[in-house]
Structures are given as C-alpha cells and as structure tokens.
Amino acid sequence: MTEPAETTGGASTTTLPPPRRDDWVPADERVAGFDRRTIWPGVVLLVVWALWAHVMPWINDQIEVDNPIVAGDVVNLGFGEVTFVPTVGWQLESGVLLTEGNEEAATIPGAARLSSDVVSYSAKSGNWDGTAEELADQMIDVNENLDLLLAKDEQGRSAITNADGVAGEIVYIAGVDQAALIATYVFERPDGPADIGVEIEVVGTPEKLEDLVEEIASMIETTTYRPASQEANS
C-alpha cells in the first residue's frame, strides 16, 4: 500500500499517530529473521499435514489385513446377483460378502479385492453395452493411461466361459517383473439400463500367477450373473 502524503489531508495530522506499515516487522518481533507472530499458524499447518498425510497412513500400514475367506463365502459384486466364489484362505481386502437378506449391500457398480501372498485379485462390475472383448480393450487402455499395470506386452488372448456357460475374454499381459491377467464377461440384462460388465484383474509375478493358476481360474469361472427373478423361477 502506498501511503498517502500527509499534506493532502484537510486535517492537521501533526497530533495524529503516523500511518501504519503493513509490511514492517519490528526487530523485537523476529525469531531467526522470521516474524514471530507468523510462526504458530505455519506450525499448525505443518502438524495437521504431518498427521493427515503421514501419520494416519503409517498407522494403517502397521495393521495387517486379517479377513481370510472361509468355505462357503461368496463375494457380492452387485445386488447379490453378480457374484463369485473366492478361494479359501485368500484375504478379502475390500468388497462385500453375500449375506442373506442383505444382498443390496453391494450395488452396481461394485468392486472387491482379494490378495494372496503377492498376488492381487480385483473384480468389478459396472454398466457396459458392448462385448467382452471391447471391455477388455477398454480396460487395457485405461490401465495403460493410469500406469497401473507394470506389465505392458500383450502375450495372448483366449475365449473363456463361466460356470453358466457365458462367454468371456481373457488377456495375458507380461512385463519385466509383473504379469497381469485381465478377464471380462458381459451379462445380458434386458430390464436394466445397460448390460452388466465384469472385469477381473489379477496382478503378480509370473511365477506366482503360475503357482496359483488353478485358484485364480476357479474364481474367474465362478463369476456369474443370476438375476433374482431367474433364481426364483429355477
């Protein structure tokens, strides 16, 4: 602020206090050259930042996931209609298990993530009007843009079918340290806003994926869509 010249005023300013200086830091208000009065707000900002961005994530890292799948568990990916049977012993990191009377706990879109050792298995359902192959392409595209998959080279594709005989697509992608499987299904839903797509991503080292191939294949195969009305009729 440029201070006005005192002479321009009508008042005789000799008896008035001098105009303030916003930018002046008195010598006795300095600590290590900083304005003492500006230290506490800065400290508050730093403390909250440290707690929010570092301490809480650290606490979270100290707590192990202890939510193992037991026999009979079914993962609910939407309205209790899109489900899969997870492998016993894997850890459920996120997602909802199917419980009677609470099927709507997971709506569409819905997602779940399981892990075993260093392999992660994520499945998600969502609205999709297109083929399983198109869904696989779309998700490879999105993942590349997000840099989520460390693997990049597509090694091969094949058609798969689930337990109900619905056809899907599986893509194997290899990288230097990590390999990934992307499996997709599209389930027809005549009365819904769109068909339901399910996409499964399995990421781990190539050796581990190979070791666990049967467990993974079983989860992919048991991924089904069974509308409540259909179940009632059958």
Partner 1 sequence: MTDTATRGDTDAVVTARRAVIDESGWGATFRVIQPRNFTFWVMVFLFVSGAALTFQGYRAAAEAYTESFAQGFTWYTLFALVFLWLFHRLDRYSSIPAKAKVVAFLFSGLVSTFAMAAINNDAFRSILAKTISLDFMLTWSAGATAPWSEEIVKMLPVVLLIGLAPRVMRCAFDGFIIGAISGLAFQVFESVSYVYGTAAANFGQAEYGTNVLFIRTVLSTGHWTWSALCGAGLVYLIGRPAEAPRRGFGIALILWAMFLHWFWDSITGITGGASWAIGLYLPLTIVCVGSFIWVYRHTVVKERAWAQALLAAEVDRGVITADELEASVGTRKQRKHFVRSQPNHRRTKHVLEATNDLADEIAKAYALDTPDVEHARAEIARLRG
Q: How far apart are CA 210 and CA 165, in angstroms?
A: 24
CB 180 to partner 1: min, Å: 16
| Ranges within 76-105 binding partner 1 (CB under 8 A) | 92, 94-97, 104-105
| Ranges within 157-216 binding partner 1 (CB under 8 A) | 197, 199
Q: How far apart are CA 8 and CA 3, in angstroms?
A: 11
Residue pair 107/196 in contact (Cβ under 8 Å)? The answer is no
Tokens coding 187: 């389930």
Q: Is the peptide bond before 19 cis (omega within 30 degrees of 0)?
A: no
Q: Which of the stretches 120-128, 166-174, 202-210, 211-219 binds partner 1 when contact is defined by CB under 8 A?
A: 120-128
Q: Which of the stretches 61-69, 114-122, 152-160, 226-234 binds partner 1 when contact is defined by CB under 8 A?
A: 61-69
Identify the bridge partners of residue 201 per DSSP, sorted by sequence position.
122, 182
Residue 163: CA atoms inside 13 Å, Cβ hemisphere, count? 14
49 lies in the binding site for partner 1 (CB under 8 A): yes
Residue pair 175/155 in contact (Cβ under 8 Å)? The answer is no
Pick from 45, 118, 159, 228 the residue near partner 1 by CB under 8 A.
45
SS3 (DSSP) at 52: helix
Q: Which of the stretches 1-9, 77-85, 157-165, 175-183 binds partner 1 when contact is defined by CB under 8 A?
A: 1-9
Q: How far apart are CA 63 and CA 56, in angstroms?
A: 11
Q: Quick one: DSSP state of residue 109?
A: S
Pick from 15, 176, 190, 232 the residue near partner 1 by CB under 8 A.
15
CB nearer to partner 1: give 97 or 160: 97
CB nearer to partner 1: give 145 or 233: 145
CB nearer to partner 1: give 113 or 211: 113
Residue 70: CA atoms inside 13 Å, Cβ hemisphere, count? 2
Binding residues (CB under 8 A) for partner 1: these are 1, 3-4, 6, 8-13, 15-17, 19-20, 22-23, 25, 30, 33-35, 37-46, 48-49, 51-53, 56-57, 59-60, 63-67, 92, 94-97, 104-105, 109, 111, 124, 126-128, 135, 138-139, 141-142, 145-147, 197, 199
